[in-house]
Amino acid sequence: MHQEYWILEVKVTPKSKQNTIVGFEGEVLKIRVTEVPEKGKANEAVIALLAKALSLPKRDITLIPGDTSRKKRILLPKSTESIVSHWREKGFYAGL
C-alpha cells in the first residue's frame, strides 16, 4: 500500500530552554529545541519532538534536504494532517 504525504512548514529556534511546539504563526509551525544547530542536532530534535507529538515513529518524519536555515520543510504522513490542522484552528498546541 502506498503512503501519501504532505509538507509542513516549520520555523525552528535552536538553543532554547526546552523542547516545545509553540504554535502557529500564519501557516508556519513554530518549534523550539534545546539542541544547537550543528551537525544536524537541532534537526534531529525537531524530528523527535514531532514524532512524540504526533505519536509516530521518527522514521515516518522526513526533513526535506537543503534547508539549513531556521525555516524547514517537513514531510509527514497524510494521516497527520488533520491533527496539525486541529492545532492550527485552536491557535495553540498544549500537548507537550
Provide the residue-wise pLDDT of the chain in tens; the chain has 96 residues: 567 999 999 999 999 999 999 999 889 999 999 999 999 999 999 999 999 999 999 999 999 977 668 899 999 999 999 888 888 887 655 554
| 30 exposure class (CB count in 10 Å sphere: 0-12, 13-18, 19+) | middle
Can you list the alpha helix ranges (DSSP code H) found in 1-96?
Answer: 41-54, 81-90
Q: Please tell me the distance from the alpha carbon of residue 34 to that of residue 45, in angstroms, as a whole number.
A: 8
Whole-model pTM? 0.88
Q: What is the pLDDT of residue 88?
A: 83
Q: What is the pLDDT of residue 3?
A: 76
Q: Which CATH number fits domain 5-90: 3.40.50.150, 3.40.50.620, 3.30.1200.10, 3.40.50.920?
A: 3.30.1200.10
